[in-house]
A and B are shown apart, each in its own frame.
Chain A
């Protein structure tokens, strides 16, 4: 299951594109992969693109939010991009507002937000 979600490097940011349904084993592996990459490559930002997901259940939402929080502990900001309107509505209705994770409309916006976050910190 490891490696089923590719994690690419763009500048000093990491990009994980989730395009397959994240269930149990895949989700666990994804989290491990991302955190390992963050640790190894000393990145400053992580973008998780979920525009390929039609459906996000509470389990996946928790995995995504947790991954973001874990990355933050390791000094990496996470931006979740490309969430679909129906997905966001469903998540909020289920009480998942994903506090602590940054969000952006698409990949470009996400990378721009990471740059802004970095300059703010300096």
Chain B
């Protein structure tokens, strides 16, 4: 996701910016003070950035983000820009957008928030030490106070970016899973099969039901086999949904066959008190297919019987 998209996702506009600034108590005089500290910042940039990367490069888990010297040079340069950016005396939407770019870059390379926050602590300490060393105490305290406000404002933006990026990823994965989650297959004339794999939540359960009903009508199916061999856990919600799907399919004029119920699932269903008497339940898919064929008036016959000619009768399902 680009930082522009983050601006939109986080709904960062003038009103939001005002509200954020008010909450972080980031006043215009803070920005003005930071602008006057610009010469101080320029004097210390290199030293602070170097000390900052000492921490990042000294820790194995953060060290791995810096593959070679060229990368280190590049990020140090970016860091200098970032550092001086704090002393621009500006905090408008352009500033926010720039900060989101940084957050988005961190998210993209997979730098976890803990390293980001830990590094920021070092940053504040470096600034604190130098401010108090260079300036009279009152001025240093006021300067550090302003720096802190802006830094925390930045941190909030970065954390929001992290969260937005993760939510976005989760959303995309869910969409992908939804597309793959209800593959209704036409097994034979008027027989459908839905193999369910993976955990079923209420959204997916709803989708399963809708898809099944639509496809039954579309295909004029006589029966639909739902194979749940790939569903690890059947809880009350899933069981309830299966019962509802069966009842709805019946209202359409078709039948549901449930197959692939494991011992564990069977135990759970009985213990949950799910009434599955209205469903055809069979242990495995092949039996399900045989029953389905029986329902549409067909059957599976072995070839030898066919060759046997008049004497042979088509094999019939037992029971």
Q: Is A80 an interface residue (CB 8 A)?
A: yes
Q: Are A105 and B254 in contact (CB under 8 A)?
A: yes
Q: What residues on B are CB-neighbors of A85 within 8 Å?
A: 210, 213-214, 216-217, 248, 252
* Given A85-B210, A85-B213: A92 in contact with B248 (beta carbons within 8 A): yes
Q: Is A5 an interface residue (CB 8 A)?
A: no
Q: Are A103 and B220 in contact (CB under 8 A)?
A: no
Q: Is B159 an interface residue (CB 8 A)?
A: no
* Given A85-B214, A85-B216, A89-B209: A103 in contact with B252 (beta carbons within 8 A): yes
Interface size in chain A (residues, C-beta < 8 A): 21
Q: What residues on A are CB-neighbors of B249 within 8 Å?
A: 88
Q: Is A33 an interface residue (CB 8 A)?
A: no
Q: How far apart are the CA atoms of A80 and B222 in the complex, in Å? A: 15
* Given A88-B213, A89-B213, A92-B244: A83 in contact with B220 (beta carbons within 8 A): no
Q: CB-CB contacts of A6-43 with B at 8 A, as 1s and 0s? A: 00000000000000000000000000000000000000
- The one of B214, B220, B221, B244 that contacts A93, using a Cβ cutoff of 8 Å: B244
Q: Is B118 an interface residue (CB 8 A)?
A: no
Q: What residues on A are CB-neighbors of B216 within 8 Å?
A: 85, 105
Q: Is A66 an interface residue (CB 8 A)?
A: no
Q: How far apart are the CA atoms of A104 and B221 in the complex, in Å? A: 10
**Beta-carbon contacts under 8 Å, A49-96 to B:** 79-81, 83-89, 91-93
**Beta-carbon contacts under 8 Å, B190-249 to A:** 209-210, 213-214, 216-217, 220-222, 244, 247-249
Q: How far apart are the CA atoms of A67 and B34 in the complex, in Å? A: 82
Q: Is B251 an interface residue (CB 8 A)?
A: yes
Given contacts A88-B213, A103-B253, 20 further A-B contacts (CB under 8 A): A81-B253, A83-B251, A84-B217, A85-B213, A85-B217, A85-B252, A87-B251, A88-B249, A89-B213, A92-B247, A92-B251, A97-B250, A97-B251, A98-B251, A103-B251, A104-B253, A105-B216, A105-B217, A105-B221, A109-B253
Task: Show the binding face of A for B, using Cβ within 8 Å.
Answer: 79-81, 83-89, 91-93, 97-98, 103-106, 109-110
